[in-house]
Amino acid sequence: MGNTVEVSNVSKSFNGQFVVRDISFDIAKGEVFGLIGPNGAGKTTIIRMLLDILRPDSGGLSILGSGLTDDIKDRIGYLPEERGLYQRLTVMDTLAYLGALKNKQSKRRTLELLETMGMLSHKDKKISELSKGMAQKIQLIAAISHDPEFIILDEPFSGLDPVNMKLVNDLILELGKRGKTILISTHMMDQVERMCDRIFMIHKGNGVLYGSVGEIKSRFGKNTILLEFDGELKDIKGVKKINHSGNYAELLLESGADTQDVLKTIASKVRVSKFELSAPSLNEIFIQVVEEA
Amino acid sequence: MTKWTTIAKHEYTYNVRRKEFIFLTLGMPLFIMVAMGLPVLLAGSSISHAEYRIGYVDKTGLFEPGNFTKYTDEELAKKNLLDNKITHFFVIPANYTATGKITIFAGKKDLMGRTVESQIRNFLIDNLLKRENKDVVERVKTPINSEYVTLNEKGETSDGGLSDFIVSVAFAVFFMLSIFTSSNFLLQGVVEEKENRVMEILLSSVSYRELLIGKIFGLGAVGLTQILAWLVIGLGILTSNPVVFAMLLDRMHVSIPLLLFAFSYFMLGYIVFASIMAGLGAVATTSREGQQMAGIFSLIGVIPMMFLQFILTNPGAPLTKILSYFPLTSPITMIMRLSTAEVQYYEVVLSTMILAVSAIVIIELSVKVFRASLLMYGKKPTLKEVIRYLSES
Ligand SMILES: Nc1ncnc2c1ncn2[C@@H]1O[C@H](COP(=O)(O)OP(=O)(O)OP(=O)(O)O)[C@@H](O)[C@H]1O
Ligand SMILES: [Mg+2]
């Protein structure tokens, strides 16, 4: 089978302003695909166009084959960015209703998912009695309880604590292993780096990066030093930027700088316990792309 | 089950369980009952006919007691009344046959005085006509048992003329009430949906059209439920009084075709209004704002009521014809015309068709507005934008 999603030359403007401009990408079947970009870049707009919630001004989109019929919608799961549920319904009623709309209700699977997400004991509570993060987990369950082939998750991690973030993370990986095609839009670059096979980055409506994570990183070259150290690290010749995090740091080299010289300089200033030459993190690439644009 | 029926079912059960809905549905009749109906009801049921003990003082010597107690002494009657031995007594003066005047004394203020009067009336007639045959006496008591027959060129059609007219007015009132109450539910339902942001999840399963149609039918049914509840409660109260019930049954001979027309016009007309309200809900940011716009359409719907007299007396006038084809006014106008005069077959077919087609067109237009304005959370489209959505293919 071909691609699950095909987007070709899609443009969309609101009030005469381009929000998405001439964008093309594909998502292969079984792929975990990251759609990234700064706030207001147009990610949610692309997702809404994929689901025919918004219509593109020009260009073509296809999901799971041709037109987006009800049958095809039944094979898609969607966690929208705008979170909301019926406040007066119970968790089970909510999931039953949203499941019924997908024509593929499985109470057993719903209960299993509630169990994995640690929500089983809350199943008879009203939505209004849940915390924001809990409601979000319910929405995630609603998006996948009909066992869809293609899952779209718009910022699935926002507002979750680290434990729940891991739960969601594991769930996505599990779905990926089972051959589901997954589109994730998120600002968590380390998650993208770990989970996604390929990514598409959009900035101000324009596509700026597209490809597998490894390939994109190698495109940026091994120009980064990962350092674990003791002491104070600053003003190092040949380094254009230092991203500190405690005793760790990510050092961006100037082009043409000799890593051996840099290492010597560093060693003279601080105690080095680990030194690694590496490609920049996706986070760093993201920031670079946005700053350079 | 199709997806729109799933949505309709959800909308219905979700909204019928609202506290405000239950409160208003049960509270309104209760309020009206307390405000006006209760005293009558209490009076009517607390003193039943059997409990009347009626006495009389006869100064003409014409009247024989029957079920009533005869007193020769007015003072004794008064004393017995005060002692609660009788509930009423009346005095027939010597010149009664000439004047018809009698004086009725009651022990308590009696709101249902007319039942007493009718018992006294029958007593008087029985006595005055005691030499007549029983049937004649009965006829004097109820001289007319009417049945209306409207003649047309082809022969006779035996319809209840007055009843049909009453049906048409009841239809109009019922229709307007339904529209006013339902517009509330539809506006609120659609506006809230925009606020609670479940919309996008729903739209990943269904189309805008299915969603809106599901809402129109689900929320429309909520409005109808309320109206029907009021109707049932109202009829229940009315018919709990057997006298009124018998009277109603007796008076009602409505033609079945009229009822069928009334039903189909009601349903189609209702769908037209409900679709307009849903469309307005899609445009409005608050239901209060929607209400103002909805008011305009509801007012147009009331036009036939304002021209009631004119429609009834000029069933063939151009204005009447226009009103009976225009989808917002045709249900009421047509039913009024049908109840009072002959209406050409083709006219009914044509107006029904216009109504049905308008329902479809309005649903389609509402879907467009819905689609265009849905994701602009909190932002109200200008009139110009709405017109643009409508004209976009
Ligand atoms: N309905 C709308 N009408 C007008 N402008 C809109 C509408 N929806 C989105 N936009 C604009 O389109 C741009 C892209 O929005 P979008 O929601 O796609 O961004 P995003 O990449 O998802 O951002 P975020 O990371 O913050 O979620 C923004 O500038 C936004 O203001
Ligand atoms: Mg977004």
Which DSSP string corresponds to B37-94? IHHHHHHHHHS-GGG--EEEEESSS----TTSEEES-HHHHHHHHHTTS-SEEEEE-T
Where is the domain boundary, A186, A217, A248?
A217
- CB within 8 Å of A120: residues ≥ 6 apart: A111, A114
How many angstroms separate the first and last alpha carbons of chain A?
A: 37
Ligand 1 pocket check for A205: Cβ under 6 Å: no
Domain ranges of chain B: 49-141, 159-391
Whether residues A206 and A258 share a domain: the answer is no
Q: B23 C-alpha to center of ligand 1: Å?
A: 41
Instruction: Name the nearest CA neighbour of A14 among B175, B381, B176, B302.
Output: B381
Residues of the domain holding A251:
221-292
Q: How many CB atoms lie within 10 A of CB B160?
A: 21
Whether residues A120 and A33 share a domain: the answer is yes
- Can you say how many angstroms the Cα of residue B156 is from the centroid of all Cα atoms in its chain? 30
Query: CB distance B205–A88 less than 8 Å?
Result: no
Mean pLDDT of B75-84: 87
Contacts of A103 in chain B (CB under 8 A): 3
Whether residues A145 and A279 share a domain: the answer is no
Mean pLDDT of chain B: 81
Q: How many CB atoms lie within 10 A of CB B121?
A: 12
Whether residues A105 and A244 share a domain: the answer is no
Ligand 1 pocket check for A53: Cβ under 6 Å: no
Residue B299: per-residue pLDDT: 86
Mean pLDDT of B274-302: 83
Task: Give the residue whose CA is nearest to atom 18 of ligand 1.
Answer: A42
Whether residues A146 and A187 share a domain: the answer is yes
CATH number at residue A47: 3.40.50.300
- CB within 8 Å of A100: residues ≥ 6 apart: B1, B6
Residue B49: per-residue pLDDT: 55
Whether residues A189 and A255 share a domain: the answer is no
Judged by average pLDDT, the poorest of A129-138, B6-15, B106-115, B153-162 is B153-162
Whether residues A152 and A121 share a domain: the answer is yes
Residue A53: per-residue pLDDT: 87
Q: What is the ipTM of this complex?
A: 0.83
Query: CB distance B197–A70 less than 8 Å?
Result: no
Residue B114: per-residue pLDDT: 64
Judged by average pLDDT, the poorest of A104-118, B135-149, B186-200 is B135-149
Whether residues A198 and A225 share a domain: the answer is no
Which amino acid, A166? K
Q: What is the largest CA-CA distance in chain B?
A: 93
Which amino acid, B312? L
* Chosen from A82, A139, A146, A154 to mutate, greatest number of chain B CBs within 10 A: A82
Residue A139: per-residue pLDDT: 94
Cα–Cα distance, A160 to A145 (Å, whole number): 20
Residue B285: per-residue pLDDT: 74
Whether residues A66 and A100 share a domain: the answer is yes
> For residue range B302-347, what is the model confidence (pLDDT) as tens digits?
888 888 888 878 877 888 888 989 999 999 888 888 877 777 788 8
Residue B390: per-residue pLDDT: 67
Whether residues A175 and A260 share a domain: the answer is no
Please give the tally of structural domains in chain A.
Answer: 2
- Is B48 a residue whose pLDDT tops 90? no
Residue B393: per-residue pLDDT: 47
> For residue range B197-244, what is the model confidence (pLDDT) as tens digits?
888 899 999 998 999 999 999 988 998 898 888 888 877 877 777 776
Task: Give the residue whose CA is nearest to atom 17 of ligand 1.
Answer: A44
- Is B245 a residue whose pLDDT tops 90? no
**Where do the DSSP E strands lie in chain B?**
54-58, 69-71, 88-92, 103-106, 150-152, 155-157
Q: How many CB atoms lie within 10 A of CB B327?
A: 22
Query: CB distance A86–B14 less than 8 Å?
Result: yes
Residue B40: per-residue pLDDT: 61
Cα–Cα distance, B141 to B152 (Å, whole number): 33
Digit-by-digit pLDDT tens for chain A (293 residues) are 578 899 999 999 888 889 999 999 999 999 999 999 999 999 999 999 999 888 888 998 999 887 788 888 999 999 999 888 998 899 999 999 999 999 877 888 999 999 999 999 999 999 999 999 999 999 999 999 999 999 999 999 988 999 999 999 999 999 999 999 999 999 988 889 889 999 999 999 999 999 998 888 888 877 788 888 888 877 788 888 888 888 888 888 887 778 888 888 888 888 888 888 888 888 888 888 888 77
- Is B159 a residue whose pLDDT tops 80? no
Strand, helix or coil for residue B155: strand
What angle, 0 to 180 degrees and rounded to 10, lies between the N-to-C axes of helices B256-283 and B330-340? 170
Ligand 1 pocket check for A76: Cβ under 6 Å: no
Q: How far is A269 from chain B (nearest CA, A)?
A: 55
For A204: left if phi > 0, alpha if psi spans -120 to 50, otherwise beta; the answer is left
Atom of ligand 1 nearest to the CA of B375: 1
A50 touching chain B per CB within 8 A: no
Where is the domain boundary, A169, A197, A217?
A217
Where is the domain boundary, A177, A202, A217?
A217
Contacts of A76 in chain B (CB under 8 A): 204
> Which CATH class, in words, describes the domain spanning B49-141?
alpha beta
Instruction: Give the angle B39-B43-B49 at the CA atoms, nearest 5°.
Output: 165
